[in-house]
Amino acid sequence: MKKLMILGVSLALVGCSTSSSPYGPVNADSRLGYQQTKIQQDRYRVRFTGKDLYEVQDYALLRAAELTLDEGFSHFKVIDGHISNDHGRRFPISSGVGVSLGNGGYRHGGTRAHLGLGVNDVVRALEGERVTSMLEIQLLHSGASNPDIYDAASVAGSIKPAVFKKTP
């Protein structure tokens, strides 16, 4: 009975792990959030790591827009970008089940069953898969008719309300 309760709690916690990613700088505990690296005076690499493909794309664009405005620019151009996930680098949950039969000696005997589940397995299941969107951007003072150039205020204005509606 105790094992069934532990299994039930574990499954409930796994279900809770599919919530949206928090928007903010990378959290050392969860490794979710944004990071930026200055490459040149007007170029940055922006990364957002989260739990959902579409979410990380929006959050990376939002961070690029915020960074552009913070640096005193009005537009940014996406020079390069890609998305990666940690699928394939993680190990599936592993557990062990064993049954032993035998004579326990003078006073003991019977059948015993054992179930083992490692703590790291539970942690990996709770964390879920991670997705990272990386954008290399160039900061600009004005826009042109180029589909890779974004108006930072417009991007922030359209994505930010949706982000903060999700965040508790």
- For 40-65, the pLDDT digits (tens) are 999 999 999 999 999 999 999 999 99
CA distance 159 to 63: 10
In this predicted model, which residue has the larger pLDDT, 46 or 147?
A: 46
Query: Do the beta carbons of residue 52 and residue 20 sit within 8 Å?
Result: yes
pTM tops 0.75? no
For residue 29, give both structure tokens.
């505990």
pLDDT of residue 33: 94
Is the pLDDT at 92 greater than 80? The verdict is: no
How many CA atoms within 13 Å lie on the side-chain side of 132?
16
Higher pLDDT: 154 or 121? It is 154
Listing DSSP states for 68-137 in one string gives: HHHTT-SEEEEEEEEEEE-TTTSPPP-EEEEEEEEE-SSS-EEEEEEEEE-HHHHHHHHH---EEEEEEE
* CA dihedral of 71, 75, 80, 85, whole degrees rounded to 10: 70
